[in-house]
Amino acid sequence: MIPVRGYEGRRVAVLGLGRSGLATARALKAGGAEPVLWDDSPEARSKAEVEGFECRDLTKQDGFTGVEVLIVSPGIPHLYPKPNPVIAAAWAAQVPVDNDVGLFFRSLATDEWNRFETLPRVIAVTGSNGKSTTSALIHHCLDHAGRPSQLAGNIGRGVLDIDAPGDGDVVVLELSSYQTDLARSLTPDIAVFTNLTPDHLDRHGGMGGYFAAKRRLFAEGGPDRAIIGVDENEGAYLANQLAEGPGDDRVIRVSVSCKLDGEGWNLFARKGFLSEYRKGRQVASIDLRNLPGLPGVHNHQNALMAYGALRGLGLAPRLIEQGFHSFAGLPHRSQTVAQINGVRFVNDSKATNADSAAMALRAFPNIRWIAGGLGKDGGIASLTGEMDHVVKAYLIGHSAREFALQISDVPHEICETMDIAVRKAAADAEPGDTILLAPAAASFDQYADFEKRGEDFTRLVEELDGQ
């Protein structure tokens, strides 16, 4: 645990008592603060009270009496589409609003660090797609290299729930826009921006607000080194803003769409090969084509991002390459769960929007595509140009019929449920086919989250394998 510093003997309110909210309350208490908690759920409040925490209705007129700061869990909207009433009440009471990420950065360094030979480092990863795989790959390669590290944030443990880092330790954080948007302190040593595609637009008031939330990690934090995907205009803009000149190697530019020229520090992938260039000369190359845990161009981008962060720490290219080869991938992200009679079954349940599904569709040949769920704005209309590899689509969930209309020229079948889709796709499949779950939709019509959806797919495939 990271005890929260700076609020000793002071009352701190916590809104939202999920995983991060309770971890925050414990860390505040460990640091000597007096947390007061609130959640709309009576069950969540009861759980907190069992741990000995005080719960107070922060919506009441005197809810913020004596409160120094309000800490908000990431799932609670603070501005768009409209402020949560408790947050609006904090504004009215002139109580500052922060989150657990802000508390983490202000509390991480301690006097003990003065005795360390090598200071701990923090790598923070944000972007639209690939954050989890990039973060996990960085952590895996550090572990392979014998560097002590911890994985936290949107993946692994909560940011305040990790162990206090020791001499030379590295903390790898995956940070969503919900987390970077509100944090008052953002000071990573290395920051990674993977890419930007439309997502969470209602929460951020459009693409401009969404990009602004991501940009705060770099503009507010001032990292020593920034790894920036420049295949979208926003990334190119950000890299340009951060660099002082063409040769400024504090910025590492990354592309999977073109070769990058110039005197700076550049990483790009072409025809499945990673290339590292510095001062206009190639200094390293890695063959990415046959890495079992990193299939497809989207995973090549993740590899580039992780490589840049690890090189920023000083790891040698060959050591990083060894880590890439032993990386098994993450569950629900282009995860091969079985090979049955020459047919590959791939679980990419995390592909919850059209852009991430497009990446998966480009990664495999001869696809029998399981898609659907609770569709997002635009559905899968943008994927009509990505159907070259799709033999047939098997559509499930709330948006099955809408999706069918949008891909009417592609052979498809409305299956409604996962079990029917898996069974029919398996019956139709031939050796060399890939049965791909890449829903391009949220899971909430039939599953609690994308993990449960992916677990159901995996279970059904395992049952096929046992027949």
User: Does 131 show up as a binding residue in the annotation?
Assistant: yes
> Are the beta carbons of 265 and 241 closer than 8 angstroms?
no
In one letter, which amino acid is 272?
G
> Are the beta carbons of 58 and 64 closer than 8 angstroms?
yes
C-alpha span between 279 and 349 (Å, rounded): 40
Q: What's the Cα-to-Cα distance from 44 to each of 19, 36, 179, rounded to whole Å?
A: 10, 13, 21
DSSP lists the bridge partners of residue 192 as: 125, 227
**Positive or negative CA dihedral for 424, 425, 428, 430?**
negative
User: Does 257 show up as a binding residue in the annotation?
Assistant: no
User: Does 107 show up as a binding residue in the annotation?
Assistant: no
Counting Cβ atoms within 10 Å, is residue 82 exposed (0-12), middle (13-18) or buried (19+)? exposed
DSSP lists the bridge partners of residue 439 as: none
What tokens were used for 292? Answer: 């079992």
User: Does 127 show up as a binding residue in the annotation?
Assistant: yes
DSSP lists the bridge partners of residue 427 as: none
User: Does 132 show up as a binding residue in the annotation?
Assistant: yes
User: Which of 282, 273, 221 minimizes the C-alpha distance to 250?
Assistant: 221
323 by DSSP, 3-state: which? helix
Q: Give the up-direction half-sphere exposure of residue 99: CA atoms within 13 A in the CB hemisphere.
A: 24
Strands, E assignment, 374-428: 390-396, 412-416
Assign 3-class secondary structure to 266-287.
Answer: EEEEECCEEEEEECCEEEEEEE
User: Which of 343, 344, 348, 336 minimizes the C-alpha distance to 373?
Assistant: 348
Counting Cβ atoms within 10 Å, is residue 73 exposed (0-12), middle (13-18) or buried (19+)? buried
Can you say which residues are annotated as belonging to the binding site? 127-133
Please state the residue numbers annotated as binding site for ATP: 127-133
